[in-house]
Amino acid sequence: MSYWFPRLINIILGLGVATGLVLTGCGAAAIDKPGSGGDSLPFQLIHEAAPLGDQPEQPLYMVVSGLEAWETLSGSLPPEAISAGMQAAADPQNLILVVYAGRQPSSGYSIAVEGIYPQEDVTLVRVEEILPGPEQITEPAVTLPYQIVAVSKKEFPEDADITFVFQDTQNKELARITINTEAAYPVP
């Protein structure tokens, strides 16, 4: 009994901490986060979380240029992400990038923009999906991890079509979106 009791206490405390992190969404707001790597454009972390829920299921990678575009994303992102994005979109000088991992089977999952790299004909957005480690205590609850970052429109030519290519750490293309820096919606 004396051997297992301290271990049981550690497990219970770990589950309590994990539950608290999941329920609070592990949110952060308005923290300057330069992208990793030397050539990344500067960007700012607006919000990140992994709220509980089971909808929407599919991952989404998006660039939003205006406040009115957020209404079209209803049902494609967790409501918390839309709310945080609408607040960030109040600044018309920013492009808002959204990375959403889709429905995940437990706590411990997250997603992050590693960097935004201008190339010759596209802007590469490197995305890392973080999985729970083998020793990490997780809750068996469906979570919806996302991250929202802002990059200044001043980093791009005025009134230009910019193609953003979202790519994971294994160089797999996740999404390709062309947007005009003066328009609120992606260019068809």
| pLDDT recorded at residue 168 | 96
| pLDDT recorded at residue 184 | 52
| pLDDT recorded at residue 15 | 46
Rounded Cα distance, 143 and 107, in Å? 6
Of 110 and 35, the one with more pLDDT = 110
Q: pLDDT by residue (tens digit) across 127-158?
A: 999 999 989 999 999 999 999 999 999 999 88
Q: pLDDT by residue (tens digit) across 51-64?
A: 999 899 999 999 98
pTM of the model: 0.75
How far is CA 82 from each of CA 11, 107, 139, rounded to the nearest angstrom?
A: 35, 21, 25
What is the pLDDT confidence band of residue 175, given thresholds at 50, 70 and 90?
very high
Q: What is the mean pLDDT of residues 59-70?
A: 87
| pLDDT recorded at residue 74 | 85
| pLDDT recorded at residue 186 | 55
Q: What is the mean pLDDT of residues 92-102?
A: 92
| pLDDT recorded at residue 158 | 83
Handedness of CA 97, 38, 153, 28 (dihedral sign): positive
Q: What is the mean pLDDT of residues 112-139?
A: 94
Rounded Cα distance, 47 and 44, in Å? 9
Q: pLDDT by residue (tens digit) across 10-27?
A: 444 444 444 444 444 443
What is the pLDDT confidence band of residue 73, given thresholds at 50, 70 and 90?
confident
Own/partner pairs, 185-188, CB within 8 angstroms, 24+ separation: 185/65, 185/66, 185/69, 185/72, 186/63, 187/161
| pLDDT recorded at residue 10 | 44
